[in-house]
Copies of this chain bind each other. A is one copy, B any other.
């Protein structure tokens, strides 16, 4: 039997190598370059014919990646792939999940529509599902979300002495509680009021739990970084221990990684989005989900 053929869109080479190794598959060669007017050129150097094809493309800053991804999927199919799936360790367009104000584009449904049309299945890590209970509400293809919480618990248990886990807002409570339970650590949650895309106000409760412990601030995503930055500053009022900022997805818009480091934080992320802070490898979770899907 010929194994799975894994192709990396630009920037996803390391993850593709890991996945192919875990799946007993093979990394295919995909040539990509830019024409002078900015169009993408794509060529499969490893033939997809009669192969089960997996494309790997994380979708932070998704807009300029989406056309190439759609073109690659369609071309793999034209070239005779038996199936074409997507591994998007970070899945974009999960925010705008309804028309909050008249006239808004519900981009989560629209992006899901594009990807559902192009791919046979999708695997991602902890999508930012607020109001959807599951990906199947917007994706019409089999779409599996794997959860990094167990890996994060493991990391905390192995790497932090006497941790206290801190969720930066009420939304994170359930999630932080689960990580804390597995890690065998106490936890607390901050009260966050969002004033806009980039403005956040934090209030503190149960700060007595920080006494003599290493604060580990956990969120699913560090995006603008404002929430995490405010949380780090508040926590610093109650303890002198160096805080750890832990997230599944490290986007770090506006150099917020630099700002967090300047506040003395140690930053730790999973490798869903490539960054110097990547310390937790989600490839085994993705490979397992992928195997169970097909």
Contact = CB atoms under 8 A, between A and B. Distances in A.
A224 B72 CA distance: 25
Most chain B CB atoms below 10 A, which of A101, A110, A111, A221: A110
Interface string A189-219: 0000000011000000000000000000000
A39 B198 contact: no
B42 A253 contact: no
Contacts of A221: 37
A70 B36 contact: no
Count the copies.
2
Nearest to A92: B39
A80 to B, nearest CB: 11
Interface string A86-115: 000000110110000111111100110110
Given A47-B102, A75-B110, A110-B74, A39 B68 contact: no
Nearest to A110: B71
Interface residues of A, number: 51
Contacts of A239: none
A93 B223 contact: no
Interface of A: 35-45, 47, 60-68, 70-72, 74-75, 78-79, 92-93, 95-96, 101-107, 110-111, 113-114, 197-198, 221, 223-224, 251, 253-254
